[in-house]
A and B are shown apart, each in its own frame.
Chain A
Amino acid sequence: EVQLVESGGGLVQPGGSLRLSCAASGITFSSSWMSWVRQVPGKGPVWVSRISPDGSRTNYADSVKGRFTISRDNAKNTLYLQMNSLRAEDTAVYYCIRGGWSLDIWGQGTMVTVSS
């Protein structure tokens, strides 16, 4: 069964850090582009970042560039999103997704709340 399971979300103060993880199973993770998309409840999805299969190529939305870092461990079939200098506007559900162009398989998401 194809499965992407995010973890690491929670409540963090402005300026703080969080690292999201995404455990993949049922897909050929090491040959897949992977992406992160976030969505404020009740609003539309917003693309955050993507990474190539070998991790050598990454892209970021301007709103997170310099603060977030996408990475992966192909030996562990795990995708990461390191989020630093968090702001209230980063509050959202964060989805891990297979694909860099056709985002085809989505996890259930993990909620990140940035608030004092």
Chain B
Amino acid sequence: DIVMTQTPLSLSVTPGQPASISCKSSESLLHSDGKTYLNWYLQKPGQPPQLLIYELSNRFSGAPDRFSGSGSGTDFTLKVSRVEAEDAGIYYCMQSVQVPLTFGGGTKVEIK
């Protein structure tokens, strides 16, 4: 199974400041079709995870443009250009290049 490792475990950010979360995979997430199967989710309390970024860097419908995904191979980053209060929650990366799909352990983001 591909192991997904996220850092940091938690983050406290002042509104308006940038934030960055790292995700590393134990194997390359680059598929032979040229796509990188790395997604980012945000789970707010009492809600299911919501998709922010799919296939490395594509923002899902409704995801604010302050969220961006980057990286390659086994190293990935989610960046928030200017954090807002509504961005609080737990962020997960997930790989879907091979079965079983696996999630990172999560990064809890607190807004100061």
Q: From residue 58 to 74 of chain A, which have CB atoms closer than 8 A to chain B? A: 59, 61-62
A103 touches B50 (CB 8 A): no
Given A45-B103, A62-B100, A103 and B92 touching (CB < 8 A)?
no
Q: From residue 16 to 51 of chain B, which have CB atoms closer than 8 A to chain A? A: 37, 39, 41, 43, 47-51
B69 contacts the other chain (Cβ, under 8 Å)? no
A102 touches B39 (CB 8 A): yes
A59 touches B99 (CB 8 A): yes
Given A101-B37, A102-B39, A47 and B102 touching (CB < 8 A)?
yes
A108 touches B60 (CB 8 A): no
Encode contact with B along A86-104: 1 for CB under 8 Å, 0 otherwise.
0000000001000011111
Q: From residue 96 to 112 of chain B, which have CB atoms closer than 8 A to chain A? A: 96, 99-106
Given A95-B48, A103-B51, A44 and B39 touching (CB < 8 A)?
no
A106 touches B105 (CB 8 A): no
Q: Nearest Cβ in chain B — how far from A58, in angstroms?
A: 10
- For the complex, what is the distance from the CA of A109 to the CA of B43, rounded to whole Å? 13
- For the complex, what is the distance from the CA of A35 to the CA of B103, rounded to whole Å? 14
A104 touches B60 (CB 8 A): yes
Residues of A within 8 A of B105 (CB): 44
Q: Nearest Cβ in chain B — how far from A28, in angstroms?
A: 15
- For the complex, what is the distance from the CA of A44 to the CA of B55, rounded to whole Å? 20
A104 touches B103 (CB 8 A): no
A107 contacts the other chain (Cβ, under 8 Å)? yes
A27 contacts the other chain (Cβ, under 8 Å)? no
A46 contacts the other chain (Cβ, under 8 Å)? yes
B80 contacts the other chain (Cβ, under 8 Å)? no
Q: Nearest Cβ in chain B — how far from A106, in angstroms?
A: 4
- For the complex, what is the distance from the CA of A103 to the CA of B96, rounded to whole Å? 9
3 tightest A-B CB contacts, nearest first: A106-B48, A102-B54, A47-B101
Interface residues of A (CB under 8 A from B): 35, 44-47, 50, 59, 61-62, 95, 100-109
Interface residues of B (CB under 8 A from A): 37, 39, 41, 43, 47-51, 54-55, 60, 92, 94, 96, 99-106
